[in-house]
Structure 1
């Protein structure tokens, strides 16, 4: 991890657990290669240090806005550059998801705000999800003309059912924190100010359990064969993403999505 990227993901230790915080709040913690490289390095650091659990959260109003649409749009004039960038970013996201699935101890997502696009993969790779009542989950792929990545087709159907997962993506449905709780995507929801305390309570309970049992349980659930199957499905998502990202209609949809945001900046 480069020194320039190290500030994008912070690692703090609290009661034996590693807390990783995405820190790109000015861009909604949008995923870029530098942030994902920093995340993977921090995950590895926590693993090597023997963390009793891993907590992943974000700084600012959003957990993560997923891919940086403005960056995709800026590259859309050169299909070669756009494809190279897309391959890099989705490939790095896939690797980070697999790193989380392979982590030897429990993984908790503390969702401080919205989770959109490929950032869902960081949520879906967690064993437990504590969600602020202000957070929500939304795909945006069909609106943007992107192919789903981040586990929307590789992980979500097994969590909430195939038909429900397809409906959410076809219609770009927004799942509130309450919706996520009802569907089993969230373990609990809470007011924003209580998020850290609720996570700490879960960590305190985990600390009372036998660490060897926790490790074997996670290793047996996310065994090598199961992770290999997820890796194949994530690779399929990458190919689908590359097939759609450079189309003229996708460029037009990105521009339409960004136009109101640019107009709002101009009024400030």
Structure 2
């Protein structure tokens, strides 16, 4: 595990003491994730769950972004949505505490992955964005459950339908994330929190995590299925084709509802 990079080249992992540091490792693409990378992330999380050396996990992004969302340079289809679901469920299923270290933009499924972690620590310069509507899509990766559970329906609708960029400071005020930290203190804070978790009681952390998730997110699995069905339909729509073309052409899309 020490110093490993995934077969897809999109995920790197290193073990420091009892903290596993996973990093989305495509900084040239702002850590955009395709189907293979999402599956690799799920695999890494599941493997850590059964590794007695690991007591806590951090998930971050290399370079200036946490994750810019799905990789629109590859095929984005129902398989991509299913892979995102597997990654989110792996983050929720593991008994090891997982810290999202949001070092920059967390967009689309990147936002979903961050919020699926147990604690979210963000640089003050970072932001969160559900950018799906600009492509003619709906939120996925569990965002339709994760976001309203944190900030309520009204703010979730703002994020999902208007595609507002939410600065880290605002995200903290809303209750979307756990901590916002000045950029120069970010890495030290993440290391300190991860070390505290790793030194804590693993059985109590596991039970606490599962109890809180059961209480606050009892409908996550159902939401993932609803997203999978709805997104599958939208990915076949003319609106998505138009949204994708507009994104690539750097223009405003013209949606028709077909």
TM-score normalised by structure 2 residue count: 0.88
Equivalent residues in 2 for 1:226-241, closer than 5 Å: 229-241=219-231
**Which structure: greater helix fraction?**
1
> Partners in 2 of 1:243 and 1:163 — Cα distance?
25
Alignment partner, residue 205 of structure 1: 196
1:57-106 Cα shifts (integer Å, max 9, x gaps): 1111111111122335xxxxxxxxxxxx5111000100110000011021
1:54 aligns with 2:57: yes
> Partners in 1 of 2:6 and 2:45 — Cα distance?
18
Deviation at 1:192, TM superposition (A): 3.2
Alignment partner, residue 237 of structure 2: 247
Equivalent residues in 2 for 1:1-268, closer than 5 Å: 5-50=7-52, 51-72=54-75, 85-223=76-214, 229-260=219-250
Alignment partner, residue 81 of structure 1: none
Deviation at 1:229, TM superposition (A): 2.9
CA-atom RMSD, angstroms? 2.1
**More deviation, 252-261/113-122:** 252-261
> Partners in 1 of 2:210 and 2:6 — Cα distance?
34
TM-score normalised by structure 1 residue count: 0.85
> Partners in 1 of 2:6 and 2:155 — Cα distance?
41
Deviation at 1:194, TM superposition (A): 2.7
Alignment partner, residue 77 of structure 1: none
> Partners in 1 of 2:26 and 2:97 — Cα distance?
25
The answer on whether the counterparts of 2:104 and 2:127 sit within 8 Å (CA) in structure 1 is: yes
Can you give the 5+ residue segments of structure 1 that lack an aligned partner in the other structure? 73-84, 262-268
Distance 1:168 1:4, change over 3 A: closer
Distance 1:246 1:14, change over 3 A: same
**Partner SS, residue 141 of structure 2:** coil
Alignment partner, residue 78 of structure 1: none
